[in-house]
């Protein structure tokens, strides 16, 4: 009821109660874009062509995973009772975090899919610490990602290190972030509007509720994914990748450079190992930094985090993931050489 | 537009209809990409399977939303929701309205040094018929370059687009091909210098099929051209290692 009231309060009505006609302007704007795309030949402008193709490719790859995540999220909302999560929520934080991190092994999608699921888990009563730990660990520790890492490094001396290191560091860094989030934000993980964008009526049949949540999650996440992909495409268009290559042989800077690259490239965790393996001028520890940092923090995720979670969340995640990944991969560098 | 379902009056919700249309548009875009083969303008063959997955999920979401478009509550499509849905629909409009295009010469400069160190995800035996992935592997892995060097002078046929190196002789071009592992965002390049062509005959972004003999020189690979034939942009402009 409160949700419905809040939504209605936000609905702009024209004087006299007439419905808002903004949709007509939106249709007109989209039609204008379509005509411009045909008539003005934007693909003949080199930088614009590059940006639009990269923008499209990031979205075409990520959106199916967001859709899959939203499907799981809607199923959790409609078919899994809140009491199921109450047991986990009652555990001490030290026990919740490993449970949430290892639960990620059962969710074989990339990082875009885990965000809507974590959002739903938080709304269903799972503690912020556990929800965030799950969200960050799942895209790294699930079997598909581990298998793709194994295949990407086949025939290399570093294969075992990369597979085991990615799995272990993924768990450890995710739990570090979860612990910090739990300490700093025991409540209020989600942004206010992220909690009310899909009105639910528990008296409706389950199928109706499922599709309400599915479309609500999809539209909500898609907006931020589009923004993130646009920023990533713009940076890839105007910033030469050679900025990272110059520091490949420097001990700490090579790790930071690979984390920076992972942030900009915004790749899917299910196939980023093939890209990491191709950076042959960087050592295994730098490649590991790429593989652990990228699925937790990148440009498209930044937009999703900022749109979904409360103020300061992204900053906290960025700092803790970067610090934990840097320290862990430095240890790997010392140990592996 | 209103109806009585059981004891509850329901009406078609414009919010739900609009959401169904936008999700349906995404579904249509994924089906179109899949059925026309345009997937390969954006993704590698390794990740192309996500497109049919997206088509199915988006279509189900749209149909489901349409089938459940009636609501007992009055839902108004407000300004904020309308613009949000418009933003979500915008990429679909762009992908469907823009002519099919692939990365060209402009991006080479942004990715060249990636390519210098980073082509070929795994060590590759350069022992079969030579192609651009072999060239990229040779430029990335010393062992692969040794294998290529042993085959100096062998015939090679390559398809790629033209770029030019500043200060190069007029009868020389750089033939380039993007190698995509995941999606276009990770595109790296493989390049060969092609010599012995008619001076000034080819412009940037023009696609050519070159035949000739291959000669590795240091980290570069040179092709002494026997023939150069203009070709249309291939259906799969990017290669997958």
Residue B60, min C-alpha distance to chain A (Å): 9
| Closest-CA residue of chain A to B53 | A64
Cα–Cα distances in angstroms (integers) from residue B164 to residues A276, A324, B171, B196, in the given order = 29, 44, 10, 14
Question: Is the pLDDT at A17 greater than 70, yes or no?
Answer: no
* Residues A6, A4: Cα–Cα separation, whole Å: 5
Interface test with A, best of B15, B23, B25, B50 (most A CBs within 10 A): B50
**Buried-exposed string B94-109: b where 16+ CB fall within 10 A, e elsewhere:** bbebbeebbbbbbbbe
Last residue of a domain, one of B97, B114, B148: B97
Stronger pLDDT, A5 or A253, i.e. the higher one: A253
Query: Alpha-carbon distance A134 to A114, whole Å?
Result: 8
Q: Do residue A275 and residue B114 have CB atoms under 8 angstroms apart?
A: no
What digits encode the pLDDT tens for the residues A156-194?
A: 778 899 999 999 999 999 999 999 998 887 677 777 665
Residue A40: exposure state from Cβ atoms within 10 A (0-12, 13-18, ≥19): exposed
Ranked by mean pLDDT, the top range of A14-23, A209-218, B10-19, B28-37 is B28-37
Segment B20-36 mean pLDDT: 97
Confidence band, pLDDT 50/70/90 cuts, at residue B7: low
Q: Which of A26, A58, A59 is facing B86, going by the closest CB pair? A: A26
Predicted complex ipTM? 0.89
Residue B176 bridge partners (DSSP): B161, B191
What's the pLDDT at A88?
75
Contacting A residues, span 235-254, partner chain B, CB-CB under 8 Å: 236-237, 239-242, 245, 248
Looking at residue B3, its pLDDT comes to: 55
B68 plus B126 within the same structural domain: no
B25 lies in some domain:
yes
B235 located within any domain: no
> B189 and B72 in one domain?
no
Confidence of residue A198 (pLDDT cuts 50, 70, 90): low
- Domain termination site, one of B70, B97, B124: B97
User: How much is the pTM?
Assistant: 0.82
Looking at the domain assignment, is residue B125 inside a domain? yes
Q: Does residue A306 fall inside a structural domain? A: yes
- CATH code at B196? 2.40.50.200
Q: Is the confidence at residue B9, as pLDDT, over 80?
A: no
Average pLDDT, chain B: 86
Please tell me whether residues B207 and B109 are part of one structural domain.
yes
CA B56-A111-A94 angle, 5° bins: 130
Looking at the domain assignment, is residue A31 inside a domain?
no
Kindly list the residues from chain A whose CB atom is less than 8 angstroms away from the CB atom of residue B85.
26, 219
Question: Does pLDDT of B211 surpass 90?
Answer: yes
CA distance B164 to chain A (A): 15
* Domain presence at residue B239: no
- For residues B126 and B222, state if they share a domain: yes
Q: Which residues of A178-207 are buried (b: 16+ CB within 10 A; e: fewer)?
A: bbbbbeebeeebbbeebbbebbbeeebeee
Q: How far apart are CA B194 and CA A305, in angstroms?
A: 48
Q: How many CB atoms lie within 10 A of CB B45?
A: 13
Question: How many cross-chain Cβ pairs, A to B, lie less than 8 Å apart?
Answer: 243
- Whole-number average pLDDT of chain A: 84
Tell me if A211 and B90 make a contact (CB, 8 A cut-off). Answer: no
User: Which of B97, B118, B151 is at the close of a domain?
Assistant: B97
Cβ of A23 within 8 Å of Cβ of B14? The answer is yes
Query: When comparing pLDDT for A165 and B131, which is higher?
Result: A165
Is B176 inside any structural domain?
Answer: yes
Distance, in Å, from the CA atom of A325 to the CA atom of A312, rounded to the nearest integer, reads 20
Query: Cα distance from B82 to chain A (closest Cα, Å)?
Result: 5
Q: What is the mean pLDDT of residues B71-92?
A: 90
Segments forming the whole domain that contains residue B62: 2-97
Chain B nearest-CA residue for A238: B110
Query: Does the pLDDT at position B16 exceed 70?
Result: yes
Tell me what the mean pLDDT of segment A71-100 comes to: 83
Minimum distance, in Å, between the CA of residue A225 and any CA atom of chain B = 9
B127 and B82 belong to one structural domain: no
Kindly state the percentage of chain A with pLDDT values over 90.
Answer: 35
Query: How high is the pLDDT of residue A29?
Result: 97
Task: Report if residue A22 sits inside a domain.
Answer: no
Give which of B185, B190, B204 to mutate to test A binding, by max A Cβ within 10 Å. B185
Domain that holds residue A212: 50-336
Q: Does pLDDT of B97 surpass 90?
A: yes
Q: What was the pLDDT predicted at B63?
A: 96
- Shortest Cα distance from A231 to chain B (angstroms)? 12
Domain assignment present for residue B240? The answer is no
Interface test with A, best of B91, B189, B190, B241 (most A CBs within 10 A): B91
Q: How many domains does chain B have?
A: 2
Is the domain of B206 the same as that of B109? yes
For testing contact with chain A, the best of B10, B52, B183, B188 (most A CBs within 10 A): B183
8 Å CB contact of B184 and A68:
no
Same domain, B50 and B124: no
Contact B80 A10 (CB under 8 A): yes
Q: How many domains in chain A? A: 1
Residue B62: is its pLDDT beyond 80?
yes
Are B84 and B147 found together in one domain? no
How many C-alpha atoms does A305 have within 13 Å on its Cβ side?
A: 20
Contact B10, B73 (CB under 8 A): no
Q: Is residue B129 part of a domain?
A: yes
For residue B187, pLDDT beyond 60: yes
**Position B116 confidence tier, pLDDT thresholds 50, 70, 90:** very low
Whether residue B152 is found in the same domain as residue B93:
no
Answer with the residue of higher pLDDT: A249 or A144.
A144
Q: Taking residues A36-56, what's their average pLDDT?
A: 92
Strands B220-230 and B70-71, bridge-based pairing: unpaired
Q: Is residue B238, in this structure, part of any structural domain at all?
A: no
B83/A22 Cβ within 8 A:
yes
Give CA–CA dist A319/B199, Å, rounded. 55
In a domain, A239, yes or no: yes
Closest listed residue to residue B228, CA positions, set B151, B158, B132: B158
Q: Which of residues 167-186 of A touch B (CB under 8 A)?
A: none
What percent of chain A clears pLDDT 70, i.e. is strictly above it? Answer: 88
Residue A20 is nearest to which of B79, B86, B94, comparing CB atoms? B79
Instruction: Assess whether B92 and B119 both reside in one domain.
Output: no
d(CA A295, CA A304): 13
Say yes or no to pLDDT of B83 above 90.
Answer: yes
Reported as a pLDDT band with limits 50, 70 and 90, residue B8 is low
pLDDT given at position B127: 66
Q: Are residues B78 and B141 located together in one domain of the fold?
A: no
Chain B residues within an 8 Å CB radius of A59: 91
Distance CA A166, CA A146 (A): 8
In the prediction, which pLDDT does A199 show? 56
Question: Is A30 in CB contact (< 8 Å) with chain B?
Answer: yes
């Amino acid at each position: 009821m409160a949700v419905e009231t809040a939504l209605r309060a936000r609905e702009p009505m024209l004087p006299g109660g007439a419905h808002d006609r903004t949709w007509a302007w939106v249709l007109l704007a989209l039609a204008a874009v379509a005509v411009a795309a045909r008539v003005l030949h934007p693909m003949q402008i080199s930088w614009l062509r590059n940006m639009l193709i990269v923008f499209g490719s990031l979205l075409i790859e990520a959106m199916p995973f967001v859709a899959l995540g939203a499907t799981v999220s809607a199923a959790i909302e409609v078919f899994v009772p809140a009491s199921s999560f109450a047991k986990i929520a009652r555990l001490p934080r030290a026990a919740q975090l490993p449970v949430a991190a290892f639960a990620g092994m059962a969710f074989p999608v990339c990082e875009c899919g885990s965000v809507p699921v974590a959002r739903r888990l938080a709304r269903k009563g799972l503690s912020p610490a556990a929800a965030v730990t799950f969200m960050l660990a799942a895209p790294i520790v699930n079997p598909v990602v581990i298998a793709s890492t194994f295949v990407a490094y086949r025939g290399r001396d570093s294969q075992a290190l990369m597979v085991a290191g990615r799995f272990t560091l993924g768990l450890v860094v995710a739990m570090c972030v979860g612990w910090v989030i739990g300490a700093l934000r025991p409540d209020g993980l989600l942004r206010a509007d992220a909690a009310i964008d899909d009105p639910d009526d528990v008296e409706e049949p389950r199928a109706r509720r499922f599709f309400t949540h599915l479309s609500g999650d999809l539209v909500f996440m898609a907006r931020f994914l589009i923004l993130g992909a646009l920023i990533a495409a713009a940076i890839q268009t105007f910033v030469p990748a050679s900025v990272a290559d110059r520091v490949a042989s420097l001990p700490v800077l090579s790790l930071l450079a690979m984390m920076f690259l992972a942030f900009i490239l915004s790749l899917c965790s299910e196939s980023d190992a093939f890209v990491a393996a191709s950076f042959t001028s960087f050592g295994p520890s730098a490649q590991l930094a790429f593989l652990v940092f990228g699925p937790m923090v990148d440009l498209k995720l930044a937009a999703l985090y900022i749109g979904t979670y409360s103020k300061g969340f992204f900053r906290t995640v960025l700092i803790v993931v970067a610090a934990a990944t840097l320290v862990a991969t430095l240890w790997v560098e010392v140990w592996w050489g | 537009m209103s109806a009585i379902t059981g004891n509850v009056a329901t009406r078609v919700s414009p919010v739900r209809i609009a959401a169904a249309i936008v999700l349906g548009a995404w579904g249509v875009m994924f089906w179109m990409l899949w059925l026309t083969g345009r997937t390969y303008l954006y993704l590698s063959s390794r990740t192309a399977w996500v497109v049919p997955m997206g088509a199915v999920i988006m279509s189900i979401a749209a149909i489901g939303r349409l089938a459940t478009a009636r609501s007992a509550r009055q839902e108004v499509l407000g300004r904020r929701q309308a613009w949000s849905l418009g933003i979500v629909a915008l990429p679909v409009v762009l992908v469907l309205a823009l002519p099919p295009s692939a990365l060209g010469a402009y991006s080479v400069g942004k990715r060249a040094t990636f390519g210098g160190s980073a082509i070929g995800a795994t060590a590759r035996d350069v022992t079969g018929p030579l192609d651009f992935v072999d060239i990229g592997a040779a430029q990335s892995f010393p062992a692969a370059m040794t294998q290529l060097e042993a085959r100096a002078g062998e015939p090679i046929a390559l398809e790629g687009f033209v770029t030019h190196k500043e200060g190069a002789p007029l009868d020389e071009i750089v033939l380039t091909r993007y190698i995509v592992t995941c999606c276009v965002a990770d595109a790296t390049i493989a390049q060969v210098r092609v010599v012995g062509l008619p001076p000034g005959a080819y412009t940037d972004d023009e696609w050519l099929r070159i035949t000739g003999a291959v000669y590795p020189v240091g980290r570069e690979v040179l092709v002494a051209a026997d023939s150069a034939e203009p070709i249309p942009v291939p259906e799969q402009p990017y290669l997958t290692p």
